[in-house]
Structure 1
Amino acid sequence: MGATNPQSLETRPVLAVETLRRYPFFAGLNPDTLNRVAEISHEIELPAGQILFQEGDPALNLFIVARGEMDIGFELSWGEKRVVDHVVAGEILSWSALLPPYRVTATAVARCDSRLIALDAEGLRVLRNQDDALGHRLMTEVARSLAHRLHGAHTQLAAVESH
């Protein structure tokens, strides 16, 4: 199964601010910022086993898992696929959408039927640069996500080396 173009998935229209407020990621943002984020957001549905993106793909969206769970993994040089992280509701995917060169660094696959909030990367970068509170929130979540993924990769490497 190849990577999915998020535009080809079942999508729901632009999100309502009330929908965004349900997620801790958006807590504390002012109403104007929430309105602007809602304008560049939509929900997508992924069936279990569906690839959302593959390592090296352009990072066109930042994703927040609304429901379900996603596996983050890599294909090793000898072809073995290795899952290094599981992303659950409330966590982000595709942090590369915020940092050059704007290409994803891993592959994401739906572990079960999942719903994601997709935030347009270009629009989000503009908002991040205009709104310090949003920029701080985004970069804090990116740092948290990277720390979690690094820990997962370290655990995987330690397991390989112990065998």
Structure 2
Amino acid sequence: MNHQELAALPIFNSFKPYQTQMIKPFIEFCSFPANMVIFHQGDRADNFYILTTGEIALHFKPYDGPSLVITKITSGDVFGWSAALGRSKYSATAIATNEIKVIRMQASNLQKLCAIDPETAALFLDRLVGVISGKLNNSHQEILNLFSNGMNLNSDCKRRMNLNGSENRIYA
């Protein structure tokens, strides 16, 4: 990928050409066929990914129920960010819903980039945090919808969930 192609992705859109050149040794371009599992929930979280083409379904398996699709990842989005957050394991399973292309970065390479070029690393981390926080906000409503699917539509609990929206959110 050249600078223009990388800069078209939200996470790289404010990068200067020399910054995209600095980051290239730390990233890997990969493709996966449809229905390929990229990682399983509980696997060691070594890499995070930027989806450049295609779609990913993230599945969460609660200990007492079937696997649930918790969100869909589309081009430009980041997934597998448990690795970037320093978590030891992935919290969901990522499955390609069609043929995909990704940029993969090992979490350890993020540390190396910080040591070699702190300015580029700081910009990348800032953009990564922006993408992750946006996904967390979107996921909140999707997960609420999953929990409330089986509820009586007229119940007081369901009504309060709808009224509260995001104002009483608790973040772990």
TM-score, normalising length: structure 2 = 0.76
* Residues 50-103 of structure 1: per-residue CA shift (max 9 Å, x gap): 110111222222211111100011112234110010001111101112112242
Pair 162,69 (structure 1): closer, same or farther in 2 beyond 3 Å? farther
The alignment's C-alpha RMSD in Å is 2.1
Name which of 132, 137, 140 aligns with 1:142.
132
- 1:61-72 paired onto structure 2 within 5 Å: 61-72=47-58
Q: Which runs of 5+ in 2 are unaligned?
A: 154-172
Q: Which runs of 5+ in 1 are unaligned?
A: 1-14
Quick one: percent identity of the two aligned structures?
A: 22
Letter paired with 1:98: A
Q: Is the 8 A contact 1:66 1:89 kept in 2?
A: yes
Q: Which residue of 2 aligns with 1:78?
A: 64
Q: Is the 8 A contact 1:73 1:81 kept in 2?
A: yes
- 1:1-163 paired onto structure 2 within 5 Å: 15-127=1-113, 130-131=118-119, 132-162=122-152
* Worse-superposed segment, 31-40 or 105-114: 31-40
CA distance in 2, matches of 1:42, 1:108: 18
Q: Does the residue aligned with 1:29 lie in a helix, a strand or coil? A: coil
* Residues 98-156 of structure 1: per-residue CA shift (max 9 Å, x gap): 11224211111011111111122211244357233222111111111222223221211
Q: Does the residue aligned with 1:115 lie in a helix, a strand or coil? A: strand
Letter paired with 1:152: E
Q: Does the residue aligned with 1:49 lie in a helix, a strand or coil? A: coil
CA distance in 2, matches of 1:103, 1:38: 25
CA distance in 2, matches of 1:96, 1:125: 15
Q: Which residue of 1 aligns with 2:167?
A: none
Q: Is the 8 A contact 1:73 1:83 kept in 2?
A: yes
TM-score, normalising length: structure 1 = 0.80
CA distance in 2, matches of 1:125, 1:103: 18
Q: Runs (4+) of structure 1 moved beyond 6 Å?
A: none
